[in-house]
Amino acid sequence: MTTKRAHVLLPEDLVREIDRLVGPRGRSAFLVETARNEVRRQRLLQFLNSKEVVWKEEDHPELKRGAGAWVRKLRMESERKRYAKR
């Protein structure tokens, strides 16, 4: 993975706190991990707040007769395979 240097200004007290947690040699890795987690969280929040329809019935034809029927079918198939092995 390539990296890019970024000049970031942080309050001194925050830098001291980070250094207490991970040491001055672990500062960059800590900030990268923290930034990645926050980006992931922000994307999730955007997704959750969007009005976009995610579940489309045409993408899941196996559930046309309902989730209960689909689960029963899976269980029956599993039982058949289980008894066929005997």
The per-residue pLDDT for range 31-56, each reduced to its tens digit, is 999 999 999 999 999 999 999 888 88
Rounded CA gap, 37 and 4, in Å? 18
pTM: 0.63
Q: How many CB atoms lie within 10 A of CB 25?
A: 8
- Amino acid in the structure at residue 23: G
How many CB atoms sit inside 10 A of residue 27's CB? Answer: 15
pLDDT score of 85 more than 80: no
CA distance 86 to 84: 5
Give the percent of the chain with pLDDT over 70.
99
What's the whole-number mean pLDDT along residues 1-17? 95
d(CA 46, CA 48): 6
